[in-house]
């Protein structure tokens, strides 16, 4: 089954992306058309270029060549804050001196949103992520899983169409990872927004993705549904990566 995406439905379009660090080229002609509401997983081993692609989408890295469109708008040279994205990193990057509520409110205060709107969005995110009871605590008093929920909450309150996750569960133990994986899936079903999710874990990829882009050395090997990629891998590398236990 091949999912074709018309340009008007395109949530994120990456066209001919190239990126070099000095003389070393790490992304080679990466192109993807991603439809509204898709859950895209960028899967690959360490150093395959997953985070680099995500950082280009977020505007944290300048591309060497190529273009990025979000909701049909060319954002290639836009500031990160103007791109309408929420990003969640592996390290929670919470402000330790602020409460959970303060952490959730921080970006919104900077965006000069009215107080009652900020409160409304925090209440909603806290309810969805089940962190209502921790709102007045500081991150130091939370477990790893709770902190990562807060980090997801910080993206959620921004009320954006496009979420970027960079290995958000890698720092958690296996039990929590499995638990949060289910919650992220529910979150996506509830919000219906577009997700681009980076992981090196094929189980995460197979359970979460509507489509998987498997990367090696900055080249997309295959971009397909989990079922297709599992049943019809295009080369031995894909077959080995998807078939091998983590």
Contacts with ligand ADP, residue ranges (CB under 6 A): 21, 26, 44, 46-52
> In degrees, to the nearest 5, what angle opens at C-alpha 204 toward C-alphas 200 and 207?
145
CA pair distance 42, 54, nearest whole angstrom = 9
Residue whose C-alpha is closest to residue 145's, from 117, 185, 177, 109? 177
Nearer to ligand ADP, 142 or 209 (CB): 209
Nearer to ligand ADP, 54 or 122 (CB): 54
CA pair distance 175, 179, nearest whole angstrom = 6
Is there binding between residue 48 and Mg ion (CB under 5 A)?
A: no
Is there binding between residue 10 and Mg ion (CB under 5 A)?
A: no
Q: Which does 193 bind (CB under 5 to 8 A by kind): ligand ADP, Mg ion, none?
A: none
Q: Which does 176 bind (CB under 5 to 8 A by kind): ligand ADP, Mg ion, none?
A: none
Q: Which does 21 bind (CB under 5 to 8 A by kind): Mg ion, ligand ADP, none?
A: ligand ADP
Please tell me whether residue 220 adopts helix, strand or coil conformation: strand
Q: Which of 10, 48, 51, 146 binds Mg ion (CB under 5 A)?
A: 51
Is there binding between residue 202 and Mg ion (CB under 5 A)?
A: no
Candidate ranges 27-35, 49-57, 141-149, 220-228; the one touching Mg ion (CB under 5 A): 49-57
Nearer to ligand ADP, 137 or 217 (CB): 217
CA pair distance 103, 154, nearest whole angstrom = 7
Residue whose C-alpha is closest to residue 83's, from 164, 10, 148? 164
Q: Which does 191 bind (CB under 5 to 8 A by kind): Mg ion, ligand ADP, none?
A: none
Residue whose C-alpha is closest to residue 73's, from 83, 63, 87, 86? 83
């Amino acid at each position: 089954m091949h999912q074709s995406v018309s340009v008007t439905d395109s949530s994120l379009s990456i066209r001919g992306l190239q990126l070099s660090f000095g003389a070393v080229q790490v992304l080679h002609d990466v192109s993807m058309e991603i439809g509204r509401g898709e859950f895209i997983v960028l899967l690959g081993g360490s150093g395959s270029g997953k985070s680099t692609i995500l950082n280009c989408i977020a505007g944290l890295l300048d591309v060497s060549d190529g273009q990025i469109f979000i909701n049909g708008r060319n954002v290639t040279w836009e500031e990160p804050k103007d791109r309408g994205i929420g990003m969640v990193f592996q390290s929670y990057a919470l402000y330790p001196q602020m409460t959970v509520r303060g952490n959730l409110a921080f970006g919104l205060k900077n965006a000069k949103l009215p107080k009652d709107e900020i409160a409304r969005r925090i209440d909603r995110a806290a309810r969805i992520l089940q962190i209502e009871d921790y709102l007045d605590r500081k991150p130091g008093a939370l477990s790893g899983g709770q902190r990562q929920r807060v980090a997801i909450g910080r993206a959620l309150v921004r009320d954006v169409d496009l979420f970027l996750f960079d290995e958000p569960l890698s720092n958690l133990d296996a039990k929590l990872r499995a638990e949060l994986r289910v919650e992220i899936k529910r979150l996506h079903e509830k919000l219906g927004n577009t997700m681009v999710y980076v992981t090196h874990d094929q189980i995460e990829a197979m359970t979460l993705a509507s489509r998987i882009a498997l990367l090696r050395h900055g080249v997309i090997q295959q971009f397909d549904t989990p079922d297709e990629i599992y049943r019809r891998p295009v080369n031995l590398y894909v077959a080995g990566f998807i078939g091998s236990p983590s």
